[in-house]
Structure 1
Amino acid sequence: MGSVTLCSVSCKDFSNKVLGSGKEGDRDTLNEKLIHKEKVPVLLNKWDSLQRNQLHFVVDSLHPISVKQQKRNLKDSLRRAFDAHPKHIYLTFDDGPLIGSAAIDSLAKEKNIKVSVFLIGKHANMSKGRKRDLEKYENNPLIACYNHSYTHANNQYSRFYNNAEKAFADFEKNEKDLNLKHKIVRLPGRNIWMYDDVRKIDLKNGSTTADMLHKNGYRIFGWDVEWRLNSITGVPVQPQEATLSHIHNFMNNKSSMVPNNVVFLMHDDMFQTKKGQQELSALIDALKKDGYQFEFMQDYPIKY
């Protein structure tokens, strides 16, 4: 029958210490190694290896199963294994503080869920009202504040990223001005991911700035699913049901950046109307009903 080589395991470490005849210190050291080994994200490692075609498949001549079918079988098996673990959703709101911030703050408290906001310093300094909104975010333990630049590139993204040093300074200014605690960034106008050994670029214009940020200790996160509402009327551009289905598809197919972790992008001003707030409340209730766990971006990704 078909077989697959996932990894090789050495037996050299399984000495008589495992049987209890070693010294106490040796046993403690071994226990620490085993505990560390348990934390290794085995499922994710296998999934990544499969996605990158790093696994070696062998076709048995007696009971031949094609390599393509073996890959499909393994992928289905891994999906079922992931399904046995929790489903993590990251609600992220860009461009605050703005006119929808107070509603976002209230909904986080009402629903008792974790929320991530990517903030713009220029907006925070527009008025006393925006500064009060920022203070609400800062004082709400259910809300984590991150960096979305000071100027939002003045909405001239290509020009902004063409000068990477100036763009980098804009993020630094925002971190200092807003007293941000986490070195976590989302680039305006770009769906760029750069953290650990992950580097995913949507548009090359922006990659140099992202590289500079990453080299200076920042983690950069994009998004998997985006939801848009008309900020004036609160009417969804994409119906709530379709957006919810999109999230489910990413979760069930394991097609998000990391399986079982879906980063969901919205924008602050979408929720300035009662209609928009009701839509968001209903979507949160639906996600809760489906067993999703709400997480902060600082804990991304949760691995298995």
Structure 2
Amino acid sequence: MGTPTFTLKQIFEMNTFLKRGLAMLPLGLAVMSLMTSCKGKDENAGKDSTKVVAKVPTPGDTITLDPNKRYIYLTWDDSPQPPGTNICRRVFQEQGVKATFFGVGFNMFEPSRRRMIDSIRAAYPQFLLANHSFSHGMQDHYKDFYTHPDSAVNDFLHAEQLMKIPVKIIRMPGSNSWVGKDLNKGPNSAKLVRDRLDSMGYKVIGWDLEWNQKPGTKAPLQTPTEMVDAINKRFEQEYTTEPNAIVILSHDRLFGTQQYADSLAKFIQLLKQDPRNVFETIDHYPLVMRK
């Protein structure tokens, strides 16, 4: 086929047509865009576009415990006690287990320890910050502390405010006391304080087993194997405050060296060998969740 030829008139008419088409192009594109938009809206009409957002866990949330599991609550007192606190946290993180740190309020006056407390509070749901009083029982003068229930209760409230404790859970210094629904037990010396805290809606958590401090040192007394054996024995004998749950007490300061950090890691690894064992924070302890 040969090359077509056009008259001057035809060329002029085609040029005019193209100019008009280009001028109309933006309007055409806009109309097409509007039509596409409307079509999309029509197609989605009536559909629920609400996205499902996972609920962020908050301290004190209630969970369902598996009756076929054994729940282990690692609770570390007198926090923070550097370097032990940071070492314990690192071990817990590496091992992927949960733990509760019971903080002492007067630590808030030291900037580095205040930052540790803030960091623990922000690390939920792996770590929970709970209340171990402001003065640690008037600097370990427990008899005087519990003899004056008004000042003792105010001491706990002061700690809660300073440390911004997110839950109404207390461990009473120097006293293996328990308070919750249908339970109020512990030394008679602390009963008046327990009663006051109970009336105010607080839960008080004692302990079933302690990883003790070796006398005259800042080191754990029992070996990891001894602790695991003791835990298994308690479960087998059903000798715990709550069925299928055991509260372990220890202190940050006992694990301030690599040697004892390794002991803590081994302790957790031995417990993880039993598939029944689950590590939880103390806000998910049965006594705390029971209304």
* Structure 1 length-normalised TM: 0.69
1:197 — aligned with what? 182
- 2:191 is equivalent to residue 213 of structure 1: no
Check the 8 A contact 1:231/1:271 in 2, yes or no: no
What's the CA shift string for 1:56-102, capped at 9, x where partnerless? xxxxxxxxxxxxxxxxxxxxxxxxxx9x7101100000000111111
8 Å contact from structure 1 (residues 92, 264) kept in 2: yes
Partner residue of 1:246? 230
Correspondence 1:166 to 2:151: yes
Gaps of 5+ in 2: 1-63
The residue number in structure 1 matching 2:115 is 132
The share of aligned pairs that are identical, in percent, is 29
Q: Secondary structure at the match of 2:71?
A: strand
1:243 is paired with a residue whose SS is helix
Aligned to 2:106: 122
The number of residues matched between the two structures is: 220
Q: Which amino acid aligns with 2:74?
A: L
CA distance in structure 1 between the partners assigned to 2:152 and 2:251 by the alignment: 22
Check 1:231–1:131 CA distance in 2 against 1; reply closer, same or farther (3 A cut).
farther
1:139-154 pair list within 5 angstroms: 139-141=122-124, 142-153=126-137, 154=139
For the pair shown, the structure with the greater C-alpha radius of gyration is 2
Q: 1:85 aligns with which of 64, 68, 83?
A: 68
CA contact (8 A) 2:223 2:263 kept: no
| Aligned counterparts, 1:99-110, within 5 A | 99=82, 100-110=84-94
5+ long unaligned stretches in structure 1: 1-40, 42-81
TM-score of the superposed pair, with normalisation by structure 2:
0.71
CA-to-partner distance for each residue in 1:232-275, whole Å, 9 max, x for gaps?
86643122222211111111111101111000000111111112
1:205 partner SS: helix
Tell me the distance in 2 between the aligned counterparts of 1:236 and 1:105.
17
Residue pair 1:233, 1:275 contacting (<8 A) in 2 also: no
Distance (whole Å) between structure 1 residues aligned to residue 114 and residue 209 of structure 2: 29
Larger RCO (CA within 8 A; separation ≥ 6):
2
Alignment partners' CA distance in 1, 2:153 and 2:220: 34
Deviation >6 Å, runs of 4+: none
RMSD, matched Cα: 2.0
Determine which of 278, 281, 289 is the counterpart of 1:296: 281
